[in-house]
Structure 1
Amino acid sequence: MPTTPTILPDWLALLESRHAETHIDMGLDRVRAVKERLQLTFACPVIMVAGTNGKGSTCAMLESVLLQCGYRVGLYIKPHFLDFNERARINGELASDAALVEAFDAVESVRGDVALTYFEFTTLAIMHLISQSNVDVAILEVGLGGRLDAVNVVDADVAIVTSVDIDHTDYLGDTREKIGFEKAGIFRAGRTAICSDPVPPQSLIDHAESIGADLWLLGRDFNYQGDQQQWSYGGRGQRRNSLAYPALRGANQLLNASAALAALEVLRMQLPCGAQEVRAGLALVELPGRFQVLPGRPTQVLDVAHNPHAAATLAQNLGNMGFHRYTYAVFGIMEDKDIDAVIAPMAQYVDHWCVTALPSPRSAQPAHLAEKLEALKPAGAKADDFSVTSFANPAEAYANAVSRAGENDRIVVFGSFYTVAGVMAARKSSLH
Structure 2
Amino acid sequence: MQTLPTTLPDWLALLESRHAEVHINMGLDRVRAVKQAMGLRFGCPVIMVAGTNGKGSTCAMLESILLRAGYKVGLYIKPHFLDFNERARINGELASDAALIDAFNAVEASRTDIDLTYFEFTTLAIMHLLAGAKPDVAILEVGLGGRLDAVNVIDADVSIVTSVDIDHTDFLGTTREAIGFEKAGIFRTGKPAICSDPVPPASLVAHAEAIGADLWLLGRDFNYSGDKQQWNYGGRNQRRNSLAYPSLRGANQLLNAAAALAALEVLRLELPVGAQEVRSGLVMVELPGRFQVLPGRPSVIFDVAHNPHAASALAQNLGNMGFHPYTYAVFGSMQDKDVDGVIAAMAGHIDHWCLAALPSPRSAHTAQLALAVEQHRPADAREGEWSSSQFADPAKAFANAMSRAGENDRIVVFGSFYTVAGVMAARKSSLH
Scaled by the length of structure 2, what TM-score is found?
0.99
Indicate if the aligned counterparts of 1:303 and 1:414 stay in contact, CA closer than 8 A: yes
SS at 1:348 equivalent: helix
- Give the aligned partner of residue 40 of structure 1: 40
Structure 1: distance between partners of 2:366 and 2:101: 38
Aligned partner of 1:241: which letter? N
CA drift of 1:21 comes to 4.8
Cα pair 1:178 1:203 within 8 Å, conserved: yes
The aligned counterpart of 1:270 is 270
Write the deviation string for residues 231-250 of structure 1: whole angstroms up to 9, x where unpaired: 00000000000000000000
Residue of structure 1 in register with 2:201 after alignment: 201
Question: How much does 1:412 deviate?
Answer: 0.2
Residue identity opposite 1:130 in structure 2: L
Structure 2 counterpart of 1:238, which letter? Answer: Q
In the alignment, which residue of structure 2 is the partner of 1:125? 125
SS at match of 1:330: strand
1:376, distance to aligned residue in structure 2 (A): 2.2
Match of 2:24 in 1: 24
1:68 matched to 2:68? The reply is yes
Output aligned runs, 1:200-219, within 5 Å: 200-219=200-219
Pairing of 1:27-426 with structure 2 (within 5 A): 27-379=27-379, 381-426=381-426
Alignment identity in percent?
79
Please state whether the residue corresponding to 1:138 is helix, strand or coil: strand
Mapped to 1, the partners of 2:345 and 2:22 lie a distance apart of 37
- Could you tell me which runs of 5 or more consecutive residues in structure 2 were left unpaired when the two chains were aligned: none
Partners of 1:22 and 1:302 lie apart in 2 by 30
Alpha carbons 2:325, 2:409 under 8 Å: kept: yes
Measure the CA separation in 1 of the matches of 2:345 and 2:185: 31
TM-score where L is the length of structure 1: 0.99
- Looking at structure 1, the residues matched to 122 and 335 of structure 2 have their Cα atoms a distance apart, in angstroms, of 26
Instruction: Provide the rounded CA distance (Å) in 2 between the counterparts of 1:121 and 1:329.
Output: 36
Mapped partners of 2:5, 2:291: distance in 1: 37
Q: Aligned letter for 1:373?
A: V
Query: Aligned equivalents of 1:153 and 1:111: distance in 2?
Result: 15
Structure 1, gaps ≥5 residues long: none
- The residue type equivalent to 2:153 in the other structure is V
Rounded to whole Å, the distance in 2 between the matches of 1:380 and 1:57 is 37
Q: Secondary structure at the match of 2:382?
A: coil
**3-state SS, counterpart of residue 143 of structure 1:** coil
Once the two structures are TM-superposed, the CA of residue 379 in structure 1 deviates from its matched residue by: 3.1
- Rounded to whole Å, the distance in 2 between the matches of 1:70 and 1:59 is 17
Helix, strand or coil for the counterpart of 2:342?
A: helix
Alpha-carbon distance in 1 for matches of 2:25, 2:330? 34
Q: How far apart are the structure 2 equivalents of 1:23 and 1:359? A: 16
Distance across 1 between alignment mates of 2:91 and 2:25: 33
Mean Cα deviation higher: 82-91 or 19-28 = 19-28
What is the root-mean-square deviation in Å for CA atoms of aligned residues?
A: 0.7
